[in-house]
Amino acid sequence: MSTKIEKVEAIAIEVPLPKPFAGATYTVPTRNTIVTRIHTDGGLVSEVFNGDNRKCGPDVVKIVEEQIAPLIVGLDAMDHEAVWAKAFEVTKPQGDRKYLMEAVACVDTAIWDIKGKALGVSVNKLMGGFRQRIPITATGGYYQEGRTLKDWSAEMEWQVSVGMAGCKFKVGGLSPEEDYERVAAAREGGGPEFILGCDANQGWSVDEAARFAELVEPLNITWFEEPCHWQDDVRSMAELRKRINIPINAGQSEITSWGVRRLLDAGAVDIVNFDMSHGGGPTEWLRAATMCASVGVKMLHHEETHLAVHALSAVPHGLYIDCFPDPDRDPIWDHFIKNKPKVEKGWIDVPQGPGFDIQLDWGLVEKYRLN
């Protein structure tokens, strides 16, 4: 079967949420993504979606269709490195490289889906196939007006009831002492075996983050994510890592594997949660994962459950999958995928169909498309 790229199309989606969700430094009013369809002359079509940015979807779509597509039409989709290199050319002139790398990621993800479909194997197998199930954790603990400590404890109990092995709990929006009380309530609700990470979304100074870490250490916190302010985060995390005993996790704000290398060179992290939808797709994610493996750093992935389940399960140093089990927070994961993988007792199964094995509800895609 011929796999020459014939056509590239992208669709921006926006779904309004019934209530806003707030972390330390942001508020989420909508759930967004971009569907990318690459058509080959042999009849294969990708069915993937990337990203959750709430403003730039139409801009990224324009880059995919107007800048990258002319560069890759006619190339063989099986040659993912060649396609990636050609797509990456759009980042060389001055421009918003964050949006540009998200566009590269959309195309690269679609290429891996095509490659898996052409070979009849999953992307997990293509990326290494280390295992076929992996623990799954939720993102939760959002700041919402009127919530009490009992509410955060009850949320963790609910997460256990719907099959979550743990939670990435939002902190950094209050004082270290106030957020400690929230995390203590979460630990009570989740129980002693519940995986509990804390995500400050770059909300604190080094001293504030160190004070928080000292307070929560007895609660058996699995990781402390993006603890320090963005403007000097690498140096700050390297300093903090020397002062605390909780593993530091970062990388979702990087847009290339070179950015991940910067974290590793600085000795700033124990865990990297590089996001393939922010950072150039599966090709670039594997480069980052290989570098992390070489220095003993573990891997997580920022959101994107449908993609991360393949990647993190493919490598020996992948830890847990991240998801939003609350459909109010992520209606796309809950409603748009007709063949969601099985989640049970803290584990998620890797989809076994070819490519990423995603079957979208195209009625919902058309309902919520922006372009």
- Tell me how many domains the chain contains: 2
Report the share of the chain in percent with pLDDT over 70: 100
233/277 same-domain check: yes
Same domain assignment for residues 82 and 182 = no
Tell me the mean pLDDT in the region 256-276.
98
Burial bucket for residue 198 (CB in 10 Å: 0-12, 13-18, 19+): buried
- pTM (predicted TM-score): 0.96
Look at residue 287 and tell me whether its pLDDT is greater than 80.
yes
162 shares its domain with 193: yes
Domain shared by 49 and 156, yes or no: no
User: pLDDT at position 55, please?
Assistant: 82
Same domain, 92 and 194: no
Give the type of residue at 360.
L
- Do both 31 and 75 map to the same domain? yes
Does 91 share its domain with 135?
no
Range of the domain at 142: 125-349
Report the run of H or E that residue 97 belongs to, with start and end: helix 97-119
Same domain, 20 and 132: no
95 and 148 assigned to the same domain: no
Q: What is the CATH number of the domain that holds 265?
A: 3.20.20.120
Per residue in 290-346, pLDDT (tens digit) is 999 999 999 999 999 999 999 999 999 999 999 999 998 999 999 999 999 999 999
Which segment of 53-57, 289-293, 318-322, 358-362 scores lowest on mean pLDDT? 53-57
Residues 115 and 133 in one domain: no
Q: What is the pLDDT of residues 74-130, one digit of tens each?
A: 999 999 999 999 999 999 998 899 999 999 999 999 999 999 999 999 999 999 999
- pLDDT beyond 90 at 23: no
What residue has token string 């584990």?
Answer: 347
57 lies in the same domain as 195:
no
The pLDDT confidence band at residue 57, using thresholds 50, 70 and 90, is: very high
